[in-house]
Amino acid sequence: MMHANPDVTMRATETGDNHAMKDPERDSAGAAMVLQGLHKSYGAQTVLNGIDLTVSKGETLVVLGRSGTGKSVLLKLIIGLQKPDSGSIRVHGEEITSANMEAVNKIRKTMGFLFQHAALYDSLSVEENVAFPLRRHTTMSAAQRGDRVQELLAGVGMERELKKMPSDISGGMQKRVGLARAMALEPGILLLDEPTAGLDPITSREIDELILKLQEERDVASIVVTHDLLSAKLIADRIVLLHQGNAVMEGTFDELARSDDKFVAEFFKRDS
């Protein structure tokens, strides 16, 4: 289901591991998100070279790849922070690449985004950070908002840190608060940019479990960008491997881990 770099795709095809490459049109019915032919370049550097992806409701898709292969760019294109050079992004059936700002903002409210470094508003407390989207986009009373913030922070184990400022909590705690903020409007789609990067193994595991819990309880479609293979193994329904701007292989963790393709094998031999 991808426009792939011919060289690498051939290698994937030869190994017989590209079984999961599907027709996006076939999968798009009922899909939370459909990406077709996404291209993005910065000057002479091509970052994404024709990416096709479909993410179904309730599915967790993990995007793997070496640094600089455009994984974070992919998420920023989906949320509309950057525009693709060409290609289509449909979220809940609505095209966002050609939509005006108001329409994009409407679609954004159906998505939650966890930034790599959490990107909490440093002038607001933990409580105010989580309340921010609620205050902006709902008609909740202060009391209702307070209850909802409590509930969200309890869900990530941060209910006792309400009044603390982001600078007073650890990186792992910031990620949890970021996750609670991303979930505030009960989005149908979660975009998580390296949720476990820079965290110790125990905190990483806790974040993974949180993602699984959200997936089970709320049936959200998620795209998770990560370098953490253990995390990918735990949370992924499906994994896509990006290389030189192309999605070169797709499948479950075990399918990719078993691949004898040189690049995939090199990627998976570490940690797994």
Partner 1 sequence: MTDNTRVPSRLVGEDTPQLTPLVRSAFTSLWSPVNGFLEWFGDLGIFASQVIRAAARRPFEGRELIRQLDDIGSKSLPLVALAGSAVGAVLALESRSSLLRFGAKSMLPAAIVYSVVHEMGPVVTGLVVSGRVGAGIGAELGSMKVTEQIDAIEASGVNPYKLLAFTRILACILMLPLLTLAADFCGVAAGWIADTLVDPISFQKFLHSGFGGTSFSDFLAPTFRTAVFGLIIGTIACFQGMRSQGGTQGVGRSATSSVVLASLFVILADVILVKLILVFFP
Write each residue from 61 to 100 as x if it is in contact with partner 1 (CB under 8 A), else as -, in one continuous string. Answer: ---------------x--xxx-------------------
Residue 64 or 78 having the CB closest to partner 1: 78
Residue 20 or 104 having the CB closest to partner 1: 104
In angstroms, the CA 54 to CA 37 distance is 12
Instruction: Tell me the angle at which helices 171-182 and 126-137 cross, rounded to the nearest 10 degrees.
Output: 20
Taking contact as CB under 8 A, which single stretch among the options 48-56, 120-128, 143-151, 209-217 is the one that binds partner 1?
A: 120-128
Residue whose entry in the numeric block shows the structure tokens 């959490």:
118
- 120 belongs to the binding site for partner 1 (CB under 8 A): yes
- 105 belongs to the binding site for partner 1 (CB under 8 A): yes
- 140 belongs to the binding site for partner 1 (CB under 8 A): no
Write the CB contacts of 53 (distance below 8 Å, at least 6 apart in sequence).
1, 2, 24, 33, 34, 35, 61, 240, 247
- 101 belongs to the binding site for partner 1 (CB under 8 A): yes
Q: How far is the CB of 157 from partner 1 (least distance, A)?
A: 21
Residue 137 or 227 having the CB closest to partner 1: 137
User: Distances from the Cα of 90 to the Cαs of 3, 38, 198, in angstroms?
Assistant: 17, 11, 32
DSSP states of 16-62: T-GGG---HHHH-TTEEEEEEEEEEEETTEEEEEEEEEEEETT-EEE
Interface with partner 1 in residues 161-190 (CB under 8 A): 181
- 136 belongs to the binding site for partner 1 (CB under 8 A): yes
In angstroms, the CA 168 to CA 272 distance is 35
In angstroms, the CA 96 to CA 85 distance is 13
- Binder of partner 1 out of 28, 116, 203, 252 (CB under 8 A): 116
Residue 89 or 234 having the CB closest to partner 1: 89
Q: Which two tokens stand for residue 14?
A: 């030869």
**Class of residue 168 by CB neighbours under 10 A (exposed 0-12, middle 13-18, buried 19+):** exposed
- Binder of partner 1 out of 19, 83, 109, 262 (CB under 8 A): 109
Rg (alpha carbons) of the chain, rounded to whole number: 19
- Binder of partner 1 out of 8, 33, 113, 180 (CB under 8 A): 113
Residue 57 or 76 having the CB closest to partner 1: 76
Residue 12 or 118 having the CB closest to partner 1: 118
The contact set with partner 1 (CB under 8 A) reads: 76, 79-81, 101-102, 105-106, 108-109, 111, 113, 115-117, 119-122, 132-133, 136-137, 181
